[in-house]
Amino acid sequence: MTTERESVGILDPFRQLFALERDVLVLSVAMFAFSLGFQMTNRFLPEYMVTLGASGFVVGLFGTFSNIISALYPYPGGAVSDRIGSRYALTVFGLVSTIGFAVWLVAPNIGAFTIAGVSIEPWLWIFVGLILAQAWKSFGLGATFAVVKQATDPSRLAAGFASTETFRRTAFLIGPVAAAVLIGFHPAFTVSFQYVLVVAVGFGLVGTVVQHYLYDPSADDIGSTFAGIEQVRQDLREMPDPLRPLLLGDTIVRFANGMVYVFFVLVVTQILQVGVETTVSIAGYSYAVDLSPAAFFGYLLGVEMLIALLIMAPAAKAAEYIGLKPIVGLGFAVYAIFPILLINTPANATALVLVFAFSGLRFAGLPSHKALIVGPAEQGAGGRVTGTYYLIRNTLVIPSAAVGGYLWEFVSPEVAFTVAAVLGGLGAGYFLAFGKEFEAYQRR
């Protein structure tokens, strides 16, 4: 026996990623750049909107609008790639996303104005920017799943996804922390967040240039199989049976999370109002640390993602011994518990660090979850199965943030987060009771 399965190094996912062919690596670098720009900005947008005059209910509507885009973009993205080719589609999507970051940047400077008696508030431009900023994400979801499935032994799918996810999620760690540093440069959040947006625009431009000039799509058939609405209907009918309980449980859990996800930053900045003001001594020198609640939130996201990066590869390896289902169930359970923990956390920096570290454990199930989605698909159909799964889930989750926003604004934040936790628990329980194990892992 080899010792391949005996241990997992933290850097192993990166080594596996850099062993891939150049074109896949180029796309991964572009994905990293756009993920970095998006993660520097997206989690802070609710606070940005509130400073521009939006209510909690409007923030909830923004979350639902984001859900709509996530559900509707992938298939039109495939149609565009059919029309103009993969390389130019990637370039167009990259430029459009970068313009979206720029719209967010200039939103406060546009100010409020009236058209035909209707007042246009600055926060409305955050919606407009989102339409553009999410464009690049419309292209690669199904393709990424299909590439990993084709290149990985069925019994090691979770490990394969751990490699790509660890690389991508590193941007999720760096982005919010970098944003927190930039937010600390000016006391007015609107101004300091514009610093963040300038950097995001820069990353968008870099990602666009890299993928346009270094990516060779000559052997790439991504986007060539889109056959219109009838193809969607056929894919829905032919979804593998083992995916159905996973899809239902996952949809319930994601609906619950979607109810409160956009409000995490507001709990820290508006309700708990926890920042950090202390002095740190290093090597005989003392440094004053003064973090606003918004900046501190960025570091909390960094803690969350650091735990995620540390746990994903070992959890994927553990799945090879105990199966995918228990690992996915663990992730769902953390999703369910986190809202009730956060809304009841005392206004204390240490307590918040611990709560967000706990939240990072939900990513333990992410590679196994992806393996459980694409594993039952026939070879060559992984992209379509993945696209169908996410189309159904993301469509059903669309109203979640609006529901949460209504409860937040017109009942109470505590009720919104409690309902989300209960609903998430039901979804996690359903999956643990009825979810199916992928047969390649049952045989180990």
Coil vs helix vs strand at 277: strand
pTM: 0.84
Contact 245/430 with Cβ under 8 angstroms?
yes
Local confidence band at 368 (pLDDT 50, 70, 90 cut-offs): confident
What string of H, E and C letters represents the secondary structure of 341-363?
A: HHHCCCCCHHHHHHHHHHHHHHH
Identify the weakest region by mean pLDDT among 60-64, 189-193, 232-236. Answer: 232-236
- For the chain, give every domain's residue range: 12-217+225-442
pLDDT at 369: 87
pLDDT at 384: 61
pLDDT at 5: 44
Q: What is the pLDDT of residues 222-280, one digit of tens each?
A: 444 445 566 667 767 777 777 889 999 999 999 999 999 999 999 999 999 999 988 77
pLDDT at 383: 54
Q: What is the pLDDT of residues 306-340, one digit of tens each?
A: 999 899 888 888 888 888 899 999 999 999 999 99
Nearest in space to 67 (alpha carbons), one of 6, 130, 9:
130
Better-scored residue on pLDDT, 15 or 272: 272
Q: What is the pLDDT of residues 75-112, one digit of tens each?
A: 666 556 556 666 677 788 889 999 999 999 999 998 77
Retrieve residue 303's tokens.
């803690």
pLDDT at 381: 47
Distance CA 32, CA 30 (A): 5
From residue 259, give the alpha-carbon distance in Å to each of 45, 265, 400: 16, 13, 5
Q: What is the pLDDT of residues 21-47, one digit of tens each?
A: 555 566 667 778 888 999 899 999 999
Nearest 5°: the CA angle 13, 16, 19 is 150
Partners of residue 276 on adjacent β-strands: 291
CATH 3.30.1360.30 fits 12-217+225-442, yes or no: no
Better-scored residue on pLDDT, 138 or 285: 285
All residues at 6 or more sequence positions from 216 whose CB lies less than 8 Å from its CB, including other chains: 22, 23
pLDDT at 98: 94
Contact 143/172 with Cβ under 8 angstroms?
no
Distance CA 50, CA 73 (A): 27
Distance CA 251, CA 23 (A): 33
pLDDT at 334: 97
Which is it for the CA torsion 310, 432, 255, 407, positive or negative?
Answer: negative
Nearest in space to 329 (alpha carbons), one of 431, 238, 241, 179:
431
Better-scored residue on pLDDT, 384 or 257: 257
